[in-house]
Copies of this chain bind each other. A is one copy, B any other.
Amino acid sequence: MRALFSPLLISATGLALAAAPADTPLRGFFPQSVQAERDLETRFKAMPDPTHMREVMRRLSARPHHVGSPYDKENAEWILEQFKSYGWDAHIENFDVLFPTPVERVVELVTPTTFKGKLQETALPADPTSNQQAEQLPSYNAYSVDGDVTAPLVFVNYGVPADYEELEQRGVSVKGAIVIAKYGGSWRGIKPKVAAEHGAVGCLIYSDPRDDGYAGGDVFPNGPMRPAQGVQRGSVADMPTYPGDPLTPGVGATKSAKRLAVSEAPTITKIPVLPISYGDAQPLLAALGGPIAPAAWRGGLPITYRLGAGPARVHLKVKSDWSLKTLYDVIARLPGTTEADQWVIRGNHHDAWVNGAQDPISGLVSELEEARALGALYKQGWRSKRTIIYAAWDGEEPGLLGSTEWVEAHADELRAHAVAYLNSDTNSRGYLGVEGSHSLEKFMNGVALDVEDPESGVSSWKRLQAARILNASPDARRDARDREDLRIGALGSGSDYSSFIDHLGVASLNLGYGGEDNGGIYHSIYDDFYWFMHFSDSSFVYGRALAQVSGIAVLRLANADLLPFAFTNLAETIQTYVKDLQSLRDRRAEQITERNREIEDGLFKFTSDPRDPITAPQRQQPAPQLNFAPLLNALDSLNHAASRYEKAYTRAVNEGRLANAKAVNERLVQAERALTSTEGLKNRPWYVHMLYAPGFYTGYGVKTIPGVREAIEQGQWQDADREIARAAAAVEREATLVSSLTSTLGGGS
């Protein structure tokens, strides 16, 4: 679902890729196991076939396949058959979820002139699937409340909280107005949420041509970018509160589940929302009066961007069919042997907003190719220590429905058995992106070193390091050159890993290549096979590379003698977060003091231009000092425990035997769980991880140590010390677990 590419943050002195010699250590494997694992990986790496991936993409993206559509079900059944034919134990698991589909949509300018939005993407003769209008879901934002409003229009830039501060300074209120926001700058669901908090009665979201239209290249079908009538569909449910079915928070949406009434569902928007094309947006924006938009807000339309309110008045009507729809999650299993009750889980969604060749089929074809290869190995007699579960999720687009309901339905088992969850979604040419649990950072660096980048011939690791060095700030460049491991990003939200990591504390990874292909077909009817074959990884060599990266990661996790978690990287990463929080507090404190002084000194009054007046902002409560000591103490414990563990781990692996390996592995699986808190985050108890969460006001973007960070960002100073203590407790739990693991390993120094 998430469109943005965020590349793996990584480092070290890299080597051009060559097959690693068999005696190179492999994290998690005893010396005597390395050769067999390397041989297996060599066999595995040769199996993914770009030609096959292309044909699978053609099949799966041949018709629109959103939740509830006939082809969504057909695809699920076809995927099921593939898994079975590959030798997997597979089934479909159903859930019944609230998924509104549009019945009536109106956007029209009523004053000072009239214009009726087309709200319809144009079929293009060059593009053979763009004319499947009968099956296409009209452009809309799922989980917009029904509504029918006519009100003055206000342009709010990206519609994030900072934009409203700017509007207020310019004396523009959105109270009683319909806002029009650009896509981008946050996850789309933030826009109506923040608009409603400020009193708006409706919300339009449009794709500005500067962001993914003609400014970035020729528009489809001549180029990859968004044409004038292209619209980005998407969910606007309040997923930072909880994802999944709005009616069944925290439990699987089975037939018998207890459901909220639609009117009670807290994640449905408070105001009606519709997405529109820039073709439809231009007449609306051009009709706005009021102050001229700040330079940074202006887009690529050949107009003067103004803020309003008015004289443009807009009529917005949204009405949906609110019936339940059935999800088809495809779940496939390769049973493990000696540690079969440890599960390595891999997933990618199969549903799309329309044809979805890029989103999600470009990732799914890699997953299915891995499954084919693993199945072939299985047929040849290979067995993994641990059980491997591959999932093709339904309903990701409307709100991570399929993965969330499955995770909620199987929560207890997963808490007990899940080793890790590996996700992918869209994939394209470029750089390996890795986000995830930092206890797996070292592990994924090892994998990235062993997979060749198809364009440069060096390892995916090496190419990424090169990009980091070339494009980073001096500090990040030093990091990329000198740190042993390239850094990986933390997980926010935007794809199916969310419930694993955020709700259960299962160590998770999100994997995908990207960064070279530009495009503007995201969530439109033009995200299809024709587009992908002309403007993205058309030779599927990055599809193969993703299958190699994910497949090798799965193989290593499933076969490891000792699970390859490393806590030194985790501890060091948390340390950077804490430093970050400390300087965030200091910066906020300085800003507030400075701003208050500026207000008291009358500077806003002195500089207000009578022809374009500025209102002084409100005085803010000065920021108190915070007590970071508990978190710093906990970090000391974790740092100490982690380096002791690393020594004990190295000794144990070098010895090549470990009597209690199974017990150690069972405890290792719980390490990520230790970072969760049963009461969850403030006002959103579904989110239990104390290190990572999507931001309440960013949506996709991660907030690390979210309780503390959001308290500081939102000026809720009274919460900050308590949140520090809660985060500290989680880090202490982790330190205790890691220490006890060291003891179990017979370590300590």
Which residues of A line the B interface, CB within 8 A? 209-210, 214-218, 223, 225, 292, 295, 298, 300-305, 429-430, 453, 455-456, 458, 462-463, 466-467, 469-470, 477, 516, 594, 598, 601-612
Contact = CB atoms under 8 A, between A and B. Distances in A.
Contact of A304 (B217, B302, B604): B217
A225 B304 CA distance: 10
28 contacts: A209-B302, A210-B298, A214-B302, A216-B295, A217-B304, A218-B304, A300-B300, A300-B302, A301-B302, A302-B302, A429-B611, A455-B609, A456-B605, A456-B608, A458-B606, A462-B606, A463-B607, A466-B601, A466-B602, A466-B603, A466-B606, A466-B607, A469-B601, A469-B603, A470-B604, A470-B607, A516-B609, A516-B611
A283 to B, nearest CB: 14
Contacts of A601: 466, 469
A603 B214 CA distance: 30
Given A298-B300, A466-B602, 16 more contacts: A214-B303, A214-B304, A216-B304, A302-B302, A429-B611, A430-B609, A453-B606, A456-B605, A458-B606, A466-B601, A466-B606, A467-B607, A470-B604, A477-B594, A516-B609, A516-B612
A298 B211 CA distance: 12
Contact of A598 (B218, B453, B470, B611): B470
A216 B297 CA distance: 11
B216 A456 contact: no
Which 7 residue pairs spanning A and B have beta carbons closest together? A466-B606, A466-B603, A302-B302, A456-B606, A516-B609, A466-B607, A214-B304
A458 B604 CA distance: 13
Contacts of A602: 466
A446 to B, nearest CB: 19
Interface of A is mostly: mixed
Copies of this chain per assembly: 2
Contacts of A217: 292, 304
Nearest to A603: B466
B469 A598 contact: yes
Contact of A298 (B215, B292, B453, B469): B215
A609 B453 CA distance: 12
Contacts of A218: 304
Contacts of A470: 598, 603-604, 607
A429 B214 contact: no
Contacts of A303: 214
A215 B304 contact: yes
The residue in A302, A429, A469 that gathers the most chain B C-beta atoms within 10 A of its C-beta is: A302
A664 B683 CA distance: 76
A303 B223 CA distance: 13
Contacts of A463: 606-607
Given A456-B606, A466-B607, A607-B456, A304 B516 contact: no
Contacts of A292: 216-217
A13 to B, nearest CB: 10
A295 B304 CA distance: 20
A113 to B, nearest CB: 16
Contacts of A516: 609, 611-612
Nearest to A209: B302
A88 to B, nearest CB: 36
Nearest to A590: B474
A578 B453 CA distance: 47
Nearest to A462: B606
A309 to B, nearest CB: 18
A305 B606 CA distance: 41
A292 B453 CA distance: 25
Nearest to A595: B470
Nearest to A216: B292
Given A302-B302, A304-B223, A598-B469, A429 B607 contact: no
Nearest to A293: B215
A217 to B, nearest CB: 5
A480 to B, nearest CB: 10
Contacts of A609: 429-430, 455, 516
A456 B305 CA distance: 28
Contacts of A295: 215-216
Nearest to A454: B610
Nearest to A218: B304
B215 A305 contact: yes
Nearest to A456: B606
Nearest to A302: B302
Contacts of A214: 302-304
Contacts of A612: 516
Contacts of A611: 429, 516
The residue in A209, A210, A300 that gathers the most chain B C-beta atoms within 10 A of its C-beta is: A300
A218 B607 CA distance: 23
